Chains A and B, each alone.
Chain A
């Protein structure tokens, strides 16, 4: 079984300051991990993914995340927030057993507000 915990339901930052969105996971197998972003009235868009290669993963729009197995974390960061970053962010885990896995588990989401 797997689970995802997004530690903050809402994060508020000032424009130009760093962003940190926290995600912890548990998984029976070596996981793939994803971050998706959802802008208002839009579908979810992939920001970045970890699939067992480099532990520091770079995504679109200046976001990156670091896979830390010892801490079972996959926190999303960005050095400088932009107004267009205001959206809801979802952390997703998919355990990978080698035979494939169709079971994805979504976190409950973190809403990011950016203050001008």
Chain B
């Protein structure tokens, strides 16, 4: 089954404790992206990757890191989490956004709470 898989789905952590949210897709998609969703703000892009070893900042990259060493994986790293990073995070992928018809496929989300 074609899917985007995120882990963990739920996490409670404390300020400053490094964590990684993994994202994996099985559709051989070139494009992958991370978003955070906060009430009243919709989805905001954190980082995106157009292909292996190619990443770029989105609208709200501060406090986050990413890497794209393999095509299928795009982990989101919080080196020193802070309470303002408490949010619902989504990973998404697309075959290619060069095509006009390119659409995003989303994971089910990871709810992160930083105390």
Contacts and interface: CB of A to CB of B under 8 A. Distances in A.
Contacts of B102: 32, 94
Given A32-B101, A46-B103, A49-B101, A106 B108 contact: no
Interface stretch (B37-45, B65-73, B78-86): B37-45
A12 interface: no
Interface residues on B, range: 20 to 34
Contact of B42 (A32, A52, A90): A90
Interface in B95-113: 96-109
Contacts of B34: none
Interface of A is mostly: loop
Interface in A8-67: 9, 32, 34, 36, 41-46, 49, 51-52
B76 interface: no
Contacts of A106: 35, 42-44
B31 interface: yes
Q: Which of A42, A45, A90, A100 has the most CB of B within 10 A?
A: A100
Contacts of B43: 44, 90, 106
A43 B103 contact: no
Contacts of B106: 36, 43-45
A32 B35 CA distance: 20
B109 A100 contact: no
A104 B99 CA distance: 13
A37 to B, nearest CB: 11
B67 to A, nearest CB: 18
19 contacts: A32-B100, A41-B109, A42-B108, A42-B109, A43-B108, A44-B90, A45-B106, A46-B104, A51-B100, A90-B43, A94-B97, A94-B102, A100-B96, A102-B48, A102-B97, A104-B97, A106-B35, A106-B44, A109-B42
Interface of A: 9, 32, 34, 36, 41-46, 49, 51-52, 90, 94, 96, 99-102, 104, 106-109
